[in-house]
Amino acid sequence: MMVGLTVLLIVTLMVLVISKPESRGVLIGFSGVIIVIALIGVYITHQQVSRVKARIKRLPESYQAVYLSAHELVGTYGMLKGDKQEIMGMILEIFEHASIDGRHVDEVIDHDLAVFVDGFITEKGKRHTAWYLLSYATSLFIGYLLLMKAYKVIRTGDISMEMVQSETLDVGLVATYGLVAYIFFPWLLLIIQRSTKYQWRGIKRIQILIPFVVPLGVMMSLMLINNPEFIKVVDQPVPLFTNLWTIGIGVLLFMGSLWMIRIQQKRH
């Protein structure tokens, strides 16, 4: 989730830095904070992975390659983090014992990694469903809007209800991140899952980049289209979260979407 929001915010900042050079200093400072948060997340993830890194390195190279592919495949499923770790722990243990017994990795997975992994997924998790993807996209979209609203108010240095009412979002940004949240991220999750399941290699793996036409296309449109009527529409203010009541509703919707994600992850 943090990665998703980070990408959304960085794309926004790229657009604003280019289109609003007078605010470049503040925007670059804000982007620095976002990058620091992202780096902290990467560090925590690295620490978790390092706990089993030594065991993985002791496996034969053929086992290591298949283990990494299995790790990538498991990561594309909508499951609780603890379930993913448990599955990878079981796979690692199976690989360790099989390698000690001198068995080839293809024999262990019966020449089909997807089917091998599905056996664990059936017990612990589930594939991404429409409800899971919708909840995921909604949490990203509302979370982004709340963060951008907070940023616009905080940057004024006057945190008051007057600023909450006057500092509005605009049509361009709301529409952009509606597309990014509801089209780009679900599409990317599904295509990564498919590429891992079917072990795409070489040129075929480049298909993973196809979903990026959504954020890149929208960004280029906002930066390159100089039509006055288009600019007038995208710059039109959207009065979202202009009082405590609507902010409260936004927070409840955000929390509700996170709750729905968890429900979908727990359901077998």
Q: H/E/C letters for each residue in 129-150?
A: CHHHHHHHHHHHHHHHHHHHHH
Judged by phi (left if over 0) then psi (alpha if -120 to 50, else beta), residue 241 lies in: left
Count the domains in the chain: 2
Q: What is the pLDDT of residues 99-111, one digit of tens each?
A: 999 999 999 998 8
Q: Is 37 a member of any domain?
A: no
Per-residue confidence (pLDDT) for residue 32, from 0 to 100: 62
Q: What is the pLDDT of residues 78-134, one digit of tens each?
A: 565 667 777 888 899 999 999 999 999 999 998 888 888 888 876 654 556 778 888
Range of the domain at 193: 128-266
Percent of the chain's residues with pLDDT above 90:
16
Please provide the average confidence, as pLDDT, over all residues in the chain: 78
Is the pLDDT confidence value at 195 over 80? no
Q: Is 82 a member of any domain?
A: yes
**Which of these ranges, 28-37, 147-156, 208-217, 228-237, has the smallest mean pLDDT?**
28-37
Is the pLDDT confidence value at 31 over 60? no
Show which of 102, 124, 146 is a domain's final residue: 124
Q: Is residue 114 domain-shared with residue 89, that is, in the same domain?
A: yes
Is the pLDDT confidence value at 23 over 60? no
pTM of the model: 0.61
Q: What is the pLDDT of residues 226-245, one digit of tens each?
A: 788 888 888 888 888 888 89
| Interval 185-211 mean pLDDT | 75
> What H or E segment, with its residue span, contains residue 238?
strand 237-238
Q: How many Cα atoms occupy the beta-carbon half-sphere of 163 within 13 Å?
A: 12
Q: Is 35 a member of any domain?
A: no
Q: Is residue 143 domain-shared with residue 220, that is, in the same domain?
A: yes
> Which residue in this structure is represented by tokens 């991140």?
177
Is the pLDDT confidence value at 147 over 50? yes
Asked if 77 and 128 touch (Cβ cutoff 8 Å), the reply is yes
> Which residue in this structure is represented by tokens 């296309």?
217
**Which of these ranges, 133-137, 207-211, 216-220, 226-230, has the smallest mean pLDDT?**
216-220
Asked if 238 and 171 touch (Cβ cutoff 8 Å), the reply is yes
Is the pLDDT confidence value at 252 over 90? yes
Show which of 87, 109, 124 is a domain's final residue: 124
